[in-house]
């Protein structure tokens, strides 16, 4: 593997998406860590609030028949219910919706959002190890970070293979990029919101 060279245009769509989201990912990673989610269960619960909000905004995409026709196991990949169960485990109320959720994106734009949501399962492999230190697991409190059925790497490879195999117009290429960037921006907003609304701890 060679490091991404920003002067080279990647041939695969997924590689291009990796490249254009490299900086937003690094920023988000730093922001997540700045909130010290693994210091206490209360801090972790705020992270789960952000994950739940993000996942719940994507439920309609994960269940969209047109998208399921492209990614047959899409509905099973959704983690909104897992994040909801985590909130219950952590005695944290289900947050209300936050204005600004993605609305009726085009197919390609939706796939950009899903690329980010699915990609975040890779980082989750690292995050769940830290969550174990808080007494949590993929069956309690950190379900949404658990290994997907069929395996993390396999699930990702299949998604990427499908995404890379689609024939897109130039307009759709731009839309998938936009979806991926918007998804990172949205997660950032939701993360900030989740920590800003942290209930006062006694």
Total of chain residues touching ligand HEM, rule CB under 6 A? 15
Alpha carbon distance 179, 159 (integer Å): 16
Within 10 angstroms of residue 128's Cβ, the number of other Cβ atoms is 18
Q: Does 131 bind ligand HEM (CB under 6 A)?
A: no
Residue range at the interface with ligand HEM (CB under 6 A); choices 63-71, 106-114, 115-123, 147-155: 115-123
Residue range at the interface with ligand HEM (CB under 6 A); choices 59-67, 101-109, 111-119, 161-169: 111-119
Residue 92 near residue 45, CB atoms below 8 Å: yes
The residues, ordered by sequence, that sit 6+ positions from 155 with a Cβ below 8 Å of its Cβ are 77, 118, 121, 148
Measured at the CA of 120, the angle between CA 78 and CA 159, to 5 degrees, comes to: 65
Q: How far is the CB of 118 from ligand HEM (least distance, A)?
A: 7
Q: How far is the CB of 121 from ligand HEM (least distance, A)?
A: 8
Q: Does 28 bind ligand HEM (CB under 6 A)?
A: yes
Q: Does 111 bind ligand HEM (CB under 6 A)?
A: no
Residue 154 near residue 160, CB atoms below 8 Å: no
Pick from 193, 182, 191: which is nearest to 24 by CA? 182
Q: How far is the CB of 13 from ligand HEM (least distance, A)?
A: 12
Q: How far is the CB of 103 from ligand HEM (least distance, A)?
A: 19
Catalog residues that contact ligand HEM under the rule CB under 6 A: 18, 21, 25, 28-29, 32, 115-116, 119-120, 122-123, 126-127, 187
């Amino acid at each position: 593997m060679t490091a991404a060279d920003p002067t080279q245009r990647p041939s695969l769509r997924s590689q291009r998406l990796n490249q254009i989201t490299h900086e937003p990912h690094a920023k988000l990673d730093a922001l997540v860590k700045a909130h010290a989610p693994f210091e206490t269960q209360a801090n972790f619960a705020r992270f789960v609030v952000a994950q739940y909000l993000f996942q719940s905004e994507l439920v309609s995409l994960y269940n969209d028949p047109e998208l399921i026709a492209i990614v047959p196991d899409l509905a099973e990949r959704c983690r909104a219910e897992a994040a909801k169960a985590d909130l219950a485990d952590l005695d944290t109320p289900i947050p209300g919706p936050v204005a600004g959720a993605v609305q009726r994106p085009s197919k390609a734009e939706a796939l950009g959002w899903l690329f980010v949501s699915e990609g975040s399962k890779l980082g989750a492999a690292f995050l769940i190890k830290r969550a174990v230190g808080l007494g949590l697991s993929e069956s309690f409190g950190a379900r949404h970070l658990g290994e997907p059925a069929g395996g993390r790497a396999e699930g990702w490879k299949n998604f990427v293979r499908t995404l890379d195999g689609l024939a897109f117009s130039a307009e759709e290429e731009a839309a998938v990029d936009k979806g991926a960037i918007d998804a990172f921006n949205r997660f950032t907003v939701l993360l900030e919101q989740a920590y800003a609304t942290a209930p006062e701890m006694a």
